[in-house]
A and B are shown apart, each in its own frame.
Chain A
């Protein structure tokens, strides 16, 4: 009988190891922190854009400025507090910056580059202020994304289903040379998936001179060097089912009604690559939209011995589900979903998400949207206590 008795110490070890085993086997996206930045946020903010540079996250509201001054917040991750913000004063030379939506911006050393529809504005950061150095017209290709390539080069990128009268080309890459302050190496790319640019997308990601670029309908991610030469690729048959469904999906759209129709079909039928994250030269995370749900699937790829290997997959809920219980162990939502949060890739496979308004993770036995979420946010708005939140996400594998 003694042999059948369970050793209590062993039971305790097994009890603690089991969840760890489960965790290492099935998940790789871990939210380390959800913190209040203590930076006041206008509740009407519909979008935030950000840029990671030297252990700080710079971010701004692309739609708001008072016509006099543009403010870029700087949040230092080492001290978890606001560092020195950057201010841009309105002048006659840059007045257009104050009447246009800001698409994207980047910082390198003391250089600040801001992309808007009509122009690309280049500034030199001097203390708390940025002084204008140059304004370049952005009408030829209407670039709307800027990403760091090398120390003195940025990738300028646009892939959007423009009306031909607005912009003649839909998918263009170029480099911005920070020494000469000029745009060079403008290259047109294939635009056969342009209609999907009306939906949430982030199909380009860069890391130290490497550009990863993804197709959305096919599981095909190509890697390019800084000369835009193809150097590597990832392919999988995971999205092959799309081939059967594509005859039912419109390939061109010419009105808002058409876009709405395309979105409905896309929502109900397709599994597509929505975003990619090149975390370092040997780690790539792929975010896929799934049909009939807002929940997303994430694939993690690792490069070993010059070959990309599929590593793990994980599914994340986008928002709390009605009547579900949430505690500290299952309280994980997909903060990378959508276009409104500002997502930036940091060092050591960290992803930072700035969102608004900040709210603590919800703990409940039976989630109710009004009781557990809306009423809390409504209270914050009534009391004028809406702040930017920061989620720190670590990719563990």
Chain B
């Protein structure tokens, strides 16, 4: 194996390990619970999403479009629950247009069905939550920990090393 390539792989592994460890360490600091009692499909018919799906991302209309686009492309990994102000098809139509929604992994709920008022009253841009065995809260600053390839430093690193290897 070429020494340059080996060095590149080791560097990559090291970076990934550091970031995974760092992210794991920060999971404990961002615990956040938001119990959702009711979800709807595209026609506002109630559906039971929460029992079947394990990895859920909550999105509201104030979320950053680029971030939502990014996660929607990972629809095989996540289920999306969009937060509506009320049971309104008009809001669903507007969100559909805003985020170009067409995936069947998309569901809706309203702020009345989320038992955590902080979650509803102050949704900040890029406000996501993943439910696995524990609830985790992400905002714009710690969002990159949800998935590694969203991380800007890693993107920059990959770009840099790619440029270096091709220039050789």
User: Which residues of A approach B to under 8 Å, CB–CB?
Assistant: 42-44, 46, 63, 255-257, 260, 264, 357, 369-370, 374, 377-378, 381-382
Contacts and interface: CB of A to CB of B under 8 A. Distances in A.
26 contacts: A43-B89, A44-B93, A44-B96, A46-B97, A46-B98, A63-B97, A255-B140, A256-B140, A257-B124, A257-B125, A257-B139, A257-B140, A257-B141, A260-B62, A260-B124, A370-B86, A370-B87, A374-B87, A377-B88, A377-B90, A378-B44, A378-B87, A378-B89, A378-B90, A381-B93, A382-B89
Contacts of B96: 44
Contacts of A46: 94, 97-98
Contacts of B44: 378
The residue in B64, B90, B93, B125 that gathers the most chain A C-beta atoms within 10 A of its C-beta is: B90
B89 A381 contact: yes
A369 B88 CA distance: 10
A255 B126 CA distance: 12
B86 A43 contact: no
B88 A44 contact: no
B108 to A, nearest CB: 13
Contacts of B86: 369-370, 374
A46 B98 CA distance: 9
Nearest to B44: A378
Contacts of A42: 93
A268 to B, nearest CB: 12
A374 B89 CA distance: 8
B125 A260 contact: yes
A381 B64 contact: no
Interface of B: 43-44, 62, 64, 86-90, 93-94, 96-98, 122, 124-126, 139-141
A42 B96 CA distance: 12
A260 B96 CA distance: 23
Nearest to B88: A374
A63 to B, nearest CB: 8
Contacts of A377: 88-90
Nearest to A381: B89
B152 to A, nearest CB: 14
B89 A264 contact: no
B93 A256 contact: no
Contacts of A260: 62, 124-125
B98 A264 contact: no
Contacts of B125: 256-257, 260
A264 B62 CA distance: 13
A43 B90 contact: yes
B140 A357 contact: no
B90 A357 contact: yes
Nearest to A377: B90
Nearest to A379: B89
Nearest to B62: A260
A382 B93 CA distance: 11
Contacts of B94: 43-44, 46
A313 B20 CA distance: 60
Contacts of B140: 255-257
A43 B88 CA distance: 11
Contacts of B89: 43, 374, 377-378, 381-382
A44 B96 CA distance: 8
Given A257-B124, A257-B140, A260-B124, 15 more contacts: A43-B93, A44-B96, A46-B94, A256-B64, A256-B140, A257-B141, A260-B62, A260-B125, A369-B86, A374-B87, A374-B88, A377-B89, A378-B44, A378-B88, A381-B93
A378 B92 CA distance: 10
Nearest to B122: A264
B90 A381 contact: yes
State the 7 A-B residue pairs at the shortest beta-carbon distance, nearest first: A44-B97, A44-B93, A256-B125, A43-B93, A381-B89, A378-B89, A374-B88
